[in-house]
Structure 1
């Protein structure tokens, strides 16, 4: 009874802190603008099964992709076992889901095997991150704090798997006469070592469940928030072709008025800022992308601008957006502002204009993040609000305005090119 009471208190505290984090993020989302409507559910489900559950984009790097996919699939299986632990903690029972029969045996066996596999892979990931010179793990946006965050998350996951194995080992040692479920790895360890692990069952259970609770409340402030958001982010991704950029509704109305003078226009309607200057100009989709971004660097790794030495890093765009929302969003919720903005204080004009809009980053992203959409919206602000663009573009804009074409010749002289 003491265990149940203590567990219930810990669970309620965990849910309370997590709920506060969710409401904080919800308040930030309210600062953003609408995006596209969520339609075509069948196509979204298909994309989610292929990209999120199937990890199809991850396999473009076969070896590390397979390792990452196995960790992801293992987490899905182990999560079910973790839910069982919560039921056990609340009810005081043991192995609450054992009534599932054969499925339970498969579930426990998979969880036991995946715990060992994930533990091995986590050790390899830590070695790879700390001692191997992987280019995409570097960048101005990946500072000491980001590196520490990545390593801390890996340690969390490693100890989660270690505690789960300890719990299974203790369970097998204490219930050799009647075992519910199948535990191939733990059974093999006991047979190989001949040791009695009975004393670590309770410790393993508590360590595992407490690590889950702590990790769940750490994730909303970590780059590993994609543990929660990866599947929803893929499901809610834009189904339009990557090369299709949304029109500004306010500009569309102006064009309609030019083509049809009899069209009505609400003069009292507030015209929003053209493009994106700061976080209140981005859509909820942009902000969700920034939260879901794994900061894996695959986008920057394939960016032709970055490869040729330009300052642009597609990953940095969304890392900066998340940092800026944390900074200014908190101020806006208190009715305050600052003198900074996303453009220039976080993202330079040089970065914005370096993008070739080739969409290699969006094509490579395993979470269906569209970097060029946000970059194009920042360009819109620079051009339409500040008339700030590279000299070549400004000359072209002037020619279009004066001559009706991008060239500096008048319409009367347009056919002289044939000579």
Structure 2
């Protein structure tokens, strides 16, 4: 019975990490449903972008208040969880504060963790007020109703509870140290939990141990639960922001990728001296599908983008189309892409890894034509995203499908393309008549 807590802890740890690994495999499989794309170029610049944007949070601080609060939560949550290593070792071996032998360094670390825990609590409260009392406009858009709103608040509640459990555990531990309780060696500095400790004055050692152990168990189980909650939450960006910023677009904003088959056809048309044998053979396979109508038509970086979306709404708040009341919301584009990808993944899970046509697709069932054509391609959403997500690339691919596969462009655009083809300009005037205006004067 002496080792029962250690065995129980090991089982919980294995189950928690095992379930997380299973979800990571599912996530990887879903992302790999996208088309292959070469992003092996300019590795040095990609590493710099990841360090600067994901680690350095440089695009977060463009909005100073939210940026500062996010950095506190980000740094605090990451650094505080360094203590998880000690908790895991203690849980497996049955020790208590195994790193206490570090002496002054340990005191500094625990004291720093406590200050950060308090700052995280303050930041979380501020975030909650911004979402639920002040109700900033970007948090009350239509796409944020239902689960996205609940998820945003749930994360704040989880972080708040984890930090409070951490401080409660330390406060009870501090009291036990003062009482010279067995196994509770005097170690660590507790600048914040000492303020809480008087709440436990007069309690017996057994009751203090019960509080400390309960907070300890709930803290580590809570962290493992949060780890597995990530897959179902927008907070997945904690893990994916790093690869997403690494694989982010390096080409100048506004530069679109060309379809090779179309480019070759245009070259043959525009160059009379081109080798006629360069044209595709009559028995050559048809070009692949132009553009995208479903998630499998997008590339894997775009699908990674969808899973990385933090739903912060900075893209939508900067979108001129959205600001003028149009239906387009770049955030919704990413959320819809992720939702459809999840639907496809569940379809595969239910059919032994094979996708069975379900009569649905991203275009039409999730994203409407109206949303796509409201986009001005200004790149404001791409510039605003703090983790290098590119909603515009998905919009362009879906527009490409509508134009090249279905000839379903708006009438004004069709007229313009017809004029380009017939007159060499967007206007409905013959090339021979272009100088008529000069003669009239």
Is TM more than 0.5 here?
yes
State how 1:62-211 maps to structure 2 within 5 Å: 62-98=64-100, 102-176=104-178, 178-190=185-197, 197-211=208-222
Alpha-carbon contact 1:74-1:118 (below 8 Å) kept: yes
Q: Name 1:371's counterpart in structure 2.
A: 391
Of 258-267 and 114-123, deviating more is 258-267
- Distance change in 2, residues 1:195/1:308 (3 Å): farther
Supply the distance in 1 between the matched residues of 2:252 and 2:109 (Cα, whole angstroms). Answer: 39
Alpha-carbon contact 2:20-2:227 (below 8 Å) kept: yes
Q: Name 1:215's counterpart in structure 2.
A: 226
Supply the distance in 2 between the matched residues of 1:212 and 1:79 (Cα, whole angstroms). Answer: 9
The answer as to 2:426 corresponding to 1:406 is yes
Cα distance, 1:78 vs structure 2: 1.2
The answer as to 2:52 corresponding to 1:41 is no
SS of the residue 1:65 aligns to: helix
- Distance change in 2, residues 1:331/1:253 (3 Å): farther
The answer as to 2:246 corresponding to 1:235 is yes
Supply the distance in 1 between the matched residues of 2:112 and 2:257 (Cα, whole angstroms). Answer: 45
Supply the distance in 2 between the matched residues of 1:272 and 1:174 (Cα, whole angstroms). Answer: 70
Of 175-184 and 339-348, deviating more is 175-184
Cα distance, 1:102 vs structure 2: 5.0
Cα distance, 1:256 vs structure 2: 4.7
Give the alignment partner of residue 317 of structure 1, picking from 333, 351, 360.
Answer: 333
Of 51-60 and 150-159, deviating more is 51-60
Cα distance, 1:253 vs structure 2: 3.7
Alpha-carbon contact 2:120-2:163 (below 8 Å) kept: yes
Cα distance, 1:348 vs structure 2: 1.0
Alpha-carbon contact 2:175-2:200 (below 8 Å) kept: no
Alpha-carbon contact 2:330-2:381 (below 8 Å) kept: yes
- Distance change in 2, residues 1:249/1:90 (3 Å): farther
In structure 1, runs of 5+ residues without a counterpart are none
Q: Name 1:359's counterpart in structure 2.
A: 379
Cα distance, 1:60 vs structure 2: 2.2
Supply the distance in 2 between the matched residues of 1:294 and 1:201 (Cα, whole angstroms). Answer: 34
Alpha-carbon contact 1:77-1:107 (below 8 Å) kept: no
Q: Name 2:299's counterpart in structure 1.
A: 283
Alpha-carbon contact 1:312-1:351 (below 8 Å) kept: yes
- Distance change in 2, residues 1:330/1:417 (3 Å): farther
Greater gyration radius: 2
The answer as to 2:411 corresponding to 1:395 is no
- Distance change in 2, residues 1:273/1:199 (3 Å): same
Q: How many pairs does the alignment contain?
A: 419
- Distance change in 2, residues 1:229/1:96 (3 Å): farther
Q: Name 1:350's counterpart in structure 2.
A: 370
State how 1:248-263 maps to structure 2 within 5 Å: 248-258=259-269, 259=271, 260-261=274-275, 262-263=277-278
Alpha-carbon contact 1:173-1:198 (below 8 Å) kept: no
Of 63-72 and 330-339, deviating more is 330-339
- Distance change in 2, residues 1:189/1:343 (3 Å): same
In structure 2, runs of 5+ residues without a counterpart are none
Cα distance, 1:8 vs structure 2: 0.9
Alpha-carbon contact 2:172-2:200 (below 8 Å) kept: no
Cα distance, 1:249 vs structure 2: 3.0
Give the alignment partner of residue 339 of structure 1, picking from 355, 359, 363.
Answer: 359
- Distance change in 2, residues 1:42/1:179 (3 Å): farther
Of 165-174 and 124-133, deviating more is 124-133
The answer as to 2:5 corresponding to 1:14 is no
- Distance change in 2, residues 1:192/1:216 (3 Å): closer
Of 194-203 and 112-121, deviating more is 194-203
List per-residue Cα deviations over 1:45-78 (Å, max 9, x = no partner). Answer: 3222322222222222222221111111111201
Cα distance, 1:225 vs structure 2: 1.4
Supply the distance in 2 between the matched residues of 1:39 and 1:80 (Cα, whole angstroms). Answer: 34
Supply the distance in 2 between the matched residues of 1:103 and 1:238 (Cα, whole angstroms). Answer: 42
Of 400-409 and 346-355, deviating more is 400-409
Supply the distance in 2 between the matched residues of 1:195 and 1:242 (Cα, whole angstroms). Answer: 65
Supply the distance in 1 between the matched residues of 2:15 and 2:326 (Cα, whole angstroms). Answer: 47
Alpha-carbon contact 1:299-1:360 (below 8 Å) kept: yes
List per-residue Cα deviations over 1:81-114 (Å, max 9, x = no partner). Answer: 1222122222223334445555444332221111
